[in-house]
A and B are shown apart, each in its own frame.
Chain A
């Protein structure tokens, strides 16, 4: 899944969820959409908010906060959906706000210590990035939790366990 260039660098998209800054691999991102109420589905775990129409394809929308076992994040004007490719399937993740696209070095990724998240396996590592000038959020270095999208895959087996 981790794909970097020969220089050992990769681009990540960072976004906020609650107080945390998360990052996902840019390569997996299909598009960023504004929040649009999805069509709810019956009989699915609460974190699956429903399905939405992505250019003719029916794509599930997942509340990332709930998926990680947190309280649902309230939807506001800057809420958006990150549509990603999860092992060939497409899924949209609801996040609070998209922050930035940053280039990081593979060597800068640190293994994740125990994080306050139901499944530690979804955190692939930690990386420090500098905020851009004029960017939102606190100035200076920030810590980004790199998410392992594969571990977030929404399969039925996982739902039965949830």
Chain B
């Protein structure tokens, strides 16, 4: 396969991912009771697009399955099969199989066994009153009875399809009708040149003549756009035409006539509908991948005037009279104008803007306030900030993307555990940096599994406790300041603290006589190697889940909060930074070398008095602070820097930081240089991640300062030694 085709295929899979997300959102909405035509049409379109692309790339299994799925969706869309909860559930299951098929086509998963699912789809189709239609429609061959969609014509890859699949949307009723008629129906061509068509040299009459040469006949002319005579601009185009072209004309021959049409003109080519069919037209324009050129959908939605009604409504009314925008409520919103950008370019932009911000702060450091005003530095800084915010927002994506895989997971989990779980989500539109979204997938998966496996009780227990049989998991996201809070809350039994404690003692995580607060016990769930599941289940219980959650979230510069009320449920909260690119930090010195300490963790800075820092063991020290004793770590020692003879604490500074793992800890540094925003450069881009470091940054003088990873630094000595013993 050529490289170019690979690239196009990559775009196809990207679109598949988007399509699957749309379909899943729609199906979930249907499951929740929203069976409006718009929702159903949205699902249909998504599945249809996947099928079309899959056919073009020769993914036979995917195409075949999507085709059957689409058949059912089409029936539901046409209201011939009611979207009852039962039907919706089958469609959700079919969606899961479809996702698997897409993954298989991508080569990331084996081809799923779909025979059972196909039978289930067929059973519904049969029961829905179209017994003979499904087998015919399932034929993986071009439909002999036409209804050839525009999608075929504008799909540049159509001829590459080795299996001869065509993304045909077969409307079953039409199929039946076509059998009666026994012949393809004539084409209906509607076109409305844009206002500026004449100015562009697009003389409509030439096109009409060309179509007439093909045997076409004008059936209707739309004059509704014609202004009063005094407003008439002789160089404007005001008319719209509807032509009927004989069935034996090739569709490409028709579309060729429109090659030189001015942009934002409207062109629709469709087979005429069977008489007496009130089937809404397949919305080819939106169902098909966006075509590379006009005449097509983006042009249509950008048309300066409304599409005029067709004067002669019968018999082609069903197809012609509805412009894409009016086809169904779901299509009402105009297609967002978007552009695909290589993420690498975006990252580079973000990096550069970060450098700009830092240059700005260096400038501010070096200039007196008076000079700053004189060179209008504040204005420049404000502009820079705005650029930074905008660039950040380019990378921001709704967190929906991370949430979208949860419904399916819950369905699988429900089957595995026999627990009934309802999902409630909120705040899906909260925007988060793409990097964060990519990295919270795994933690989120573990949290959901944990909630179903350990949180939600069995049906019997729930009923005995007077709760509804169905458990509820609330998944929510919200932004507060520069942090994102992602919560997974269950209404289960809450954390059984006695059991957690017992298990932790048994596993040697805590000594048997440890005195722990409820919160500390809850935190034990995230301790490495902790698992309370009595039987190791398929789902959780390998004792890695919540540990993974915590370390992943910490790696992102976030933390995990746990709150639990016995009998009422447990809430896990991931507190995440809004962006991974910029950090506010304190520049500190250790033996002359500069390091960056993330300011988010800093509580206060202490200049110790003689005697305020006291040794406890040969290596341990504590600092007395307003009657409390906090552990102190000499970062010089941690990093193996500096002379052997220890510095006196009173010649150093102790920075009190708050950590997830060890609470308040004092970090001893030589001096504090500065406080500023730094751009985080990852070490693993060219090397690999180093424990104790969150990355590196380039300072104003071009030298590199390493960014400290507080959580790793304050972690118990056993965890850190192997990483930091230089």
Binding site for B on A (CB under 8 A): 38-44, 48, 51-53, 56-60, 89-91, 154-156, 159
Residue ID in chain B nearest A156 by CB atoms: B688
Residues of B within 8 A of A159 (CB): 688
A sample of 8 inter-chain contacts (CB < 8 A) reads A42-B639, A43-B690, A43-B723, A43-B726, A51-B704, A53-B702, A154-B687, A154-B688
Given contacts A39-B706, A53-B704, contact A59 B690 (CB under 8 A): no
Q: How far is the CA of A26 from the CA of B693 in the complex (A)?
A: 34
Complexed CA–CA distance, A53 and B697 (Å): 9
Instruction: Give the distance in Å from the alpha carbon of A31 to the alpha carbon of B355 in the complex.
Output: 23
B258-266, B393-401, B418-426, B678-686 - interface stretch: B678-686
Residues of chain B contacted by A48 (CB below 8 angstroms): 687
8 Å CB contact of A91 from B351, B686, B691: B686
Contact B724 A43 (CB under 8 A): yes
Contact status A43-B692, CB under 8 Å? yes
| In the complex, B698 has a CB within 8 A of chain A | yes
Residues facing A in B31-68 (CB within 8 A) are none
Collect the chain A residues with CB atoms within 8 Å of residue B638's CB.
Answer: 42
A51 to B693, CA, bound (A): 13
| Contact residues in A for B696 (Cβ distance below 8 Å) | 39, 51, 58
> Which residues of the other chain, A, contact B705 by a CB distance below 8 angstroms?
39
CB-contacts of B659-695 with A (<8 A)? 681-683, 685-688, 690-693
Q: Which residues of the partner chain B approach A51 to less than 8 Å between Cβ atoms?
A: 683, 687, 696, 704
Q: How far is the CA of A60 from the CA of B691 in the complex (A)?
A: 16
Note all chain B residues with C-beta closer than 8 A to A59: 686
In the bound complex, what is the Cα–Cα distance between A145 and B685 (angstroms)? 29
Q: Which of A38, A52, A58, A154 is the one whose CB lies under 8 Å from B685?
A: A58
B residues lining the A interface (CB < 8 Å): 351, 355, 593, 638-640, 681-683, 685-688, 690-693, 696, 698, 702-706, 723-726
> Quick check: B693 and A42 within 8 Å, CB to CB?
yes
Per the bound structure, the CA–CA distance linking A42 and B706 in Å amounts to 10
Contact B698 A58, beta carbon cutoff 8 Å? yes
| Distance from B702 Cβ to chain A, minimum over Cβ atoms (Å) | 5
Given A42-B640, A53-B704, check contact A60 B687 (CB 8 Å): yes
A43-B726, A56-B351 known; 14 other A-B pairs, CB under 8 Å?
A39-B696, A39-B703, A39-B705, A40-B593, A41-B706, A42-B692, A42-B693, A43-B725, A52-B704, A53-B703, A58-B681, A58-B683, A89-B687, A159-B688
Residue of B nearest to A154 (CB): B687
Residues of B with C-beta under 8 A to A57: 681, 685-686
Q: Are B693 and A41 in contact (CB under 8 A)?
A: yes
Contacting residues, chain A, for B690 (C-beta < 8 A): 41-44
Residues of A within 8 A of B683 (CB): 41, 51, 58
Which residues on B sit within 8 Å (CB–CB) of A89? 685-687
Q: How far is the CA of A60 from the CA of B692 in the complex (A)?
A: 17
Q: B686: which of A42, A43, A56, A60 is its contact (CB, 8 Å)?
A: A60
Summed over the interface, the residue pairs from A and B with CB atoms below 8 Å come to a total of: 70
| Bound-state Cα–Cα, A48 to B693, Å | 16
Contact of A44 among B355, B685, B698, B726 (CB under 8 A): B726
Contacts of A156 in B (CB 8 A): 688
- Nearest first, the 6 A-B pairs at minimum CB distance are A39-B704, A42-B639, A156-B688, A60-B687, A58-B681, A89-B686
Distance A60 CA – B687 CA, assembled complex (angstroms): 6
User: How far does the alpha carbon of A39 sit from the alpha carbon of B692 in the complex, in Å?
Assistant: 15
Smallest Cβ-Cβ distance to A155: which chain B residue: B688
A39–B592 CA distance with the chains assembled, in angstroms = 11
A90 touching B703, Cβ below 8 Å: no
- A17 vs B423: C-alpha distance when bound (angstroms): 64
Complex Cα distance, B687 from A63, in Å, reads 14
Task: Say which residue of A39, A42, A58, A60 sits within 8 Å of B726 (CB atoms).
Answer: A42
Kindly state the separation between the CA atoms of A126 and B688 in the bound complex, as whole angstroms: 32
Known pairs A58-B681, A58-B685; A42 contacts B704 (CB<8 A): no
Q: For the complex formed, measure the closest distance between the CB of A104 and the CB atoms of chain B, giving whole angstroms.
A: 29
* Best-surrounded residue of A38, A44, A56, A89 (most CB of chain B within 10 A): A56
Residues of A within 8 A of B691 (CB): 43
Minimum distance in angstroms from B221 CB to a CB of chain A? 61
On chain A, the residues within 8 Å of B681 by CB distance are 56-58
Closest chain B residue to A40, Cβ basis: B593
Cβ of A39: which chain B residues have Cβ within 8 Å of it? Answer: 593, 696, 703-706
B352 to chain A, nearest CB (A): 8
In the complex, what distance in Å separates the CA atom of A60 from the CA atom of B690? 12
* Chain B proximity of A86: nearest CB distance (Å): 9
Residues of A within 8 A of B682 (CB): 58
Q: Name the residue among B351, B686, B696 with the largest chain A CB count within 10 angstroms.
A: B686
A156 to B683 Cα, complex, angstroms? 12
In whole angstroms, what is the CA distance A44 to B685 when docked? 16
- Residue on B nearest A46 in the bound complex, by CB: B726
- Min Cβ gap A23→B in Å is 23
Chain A residues near B351 (CB-CB < 8 A): 56
Q: Whole-angstrom distance between the alpha carbons of A116 and B693 in the complex?
A: 36
Contact A58 B639 (CB under 8 A): no
Cβ of A42: which chain B residues have Cβ within 8 Å of it? Answer: 638-640, 690, 692-693, 706, 724, 726
Instruction: Provide the residues of chain A in CB contact with B704, threshold 8 Å.
Output: 38-39, 51-53, 58
Chain B residue with Cβ nearest A51? B704
Report the Cα distance A38→B705, complex, angstroms: 11
- Which residues of chain A are within 8 angstroms of B593 by Cβ–Cβ distance? 39-40
Interchain nearest-CB distance for A153 vs B (Å): 11
A158 to chain B, nearest CB (A): 10
CB proximity of B257 to chain A, nearest CB, Å = 49
